[in-house]
Amino acid sequence: MLNAEDDIRVNGLPIDYNTVPGSGVMMQAVIRYIEHGAPPGHFLTAVIQNNLFEAMRRADLENRALLHAWCSWFYNKAPSMCYGSKDKMDMWMEARTVAYEARMEA
């Protein structure tokens, strides 16, 4: 479980959110999810949970064209504990929400 002092890193480096595929709105959704445990929209939820059929169904035209880039981004740039299944997503959101609330209370 992560705690409030956790600095989220991948391979020892801070996450490079500037490489998130798509629009700035999508980048903000990824930041809110990874940093604070905020639930993303339906498309990102499907990607994060490794439900690619649902991701294709939920994607707008831009994100449908970027689906490979989305999968690559999470695999290469995001913490492995935050994606791959519904259970991993749920655990990540719970841990980050607790960490976020602890920071707000400090």
Burial class for 88, CB neighbours closer than 10 Å (0-12, 13-18, 19+) = middle
Q: Which domain holds residue 84?
A: 9-105
Whether 3 is covered by a domain: the verdict is no
Whether 1 is in a domain gets the answer no
Reported confidence tier of residue 103, pLDDT bands at 50, 70, 90: confident
Domain count, the chain: 1
| Sequential DSSP letters for 67-91 | HHHHHHHHHHHS-GGGSSSHHHHHH
Q: Which residues contact 46 (CB under 8 A, 6 or more apart)?
A: 52, 54, 55, 57, 58
Q: What is the mean pLDDT of the chain?
A: 92
Which residue reads 């939820």 in tokens? Answer: 45
Distance CA 76, CA 3 (A): 23
Question: Does 31 map to a domain?
Answer: yes
- In the predicted model, is pLDDT for residue 3 greater than 50? no
Q: What is the pLDDT of residue 90?
A: 98
Q: What is the pLDDT of residue 6?
A: 58
Question: Per-residue pLDDT tens for 31-80?
Answer: 999 999 999 999 999 999 999 999 999 999 999 999 999 999 999 999 99
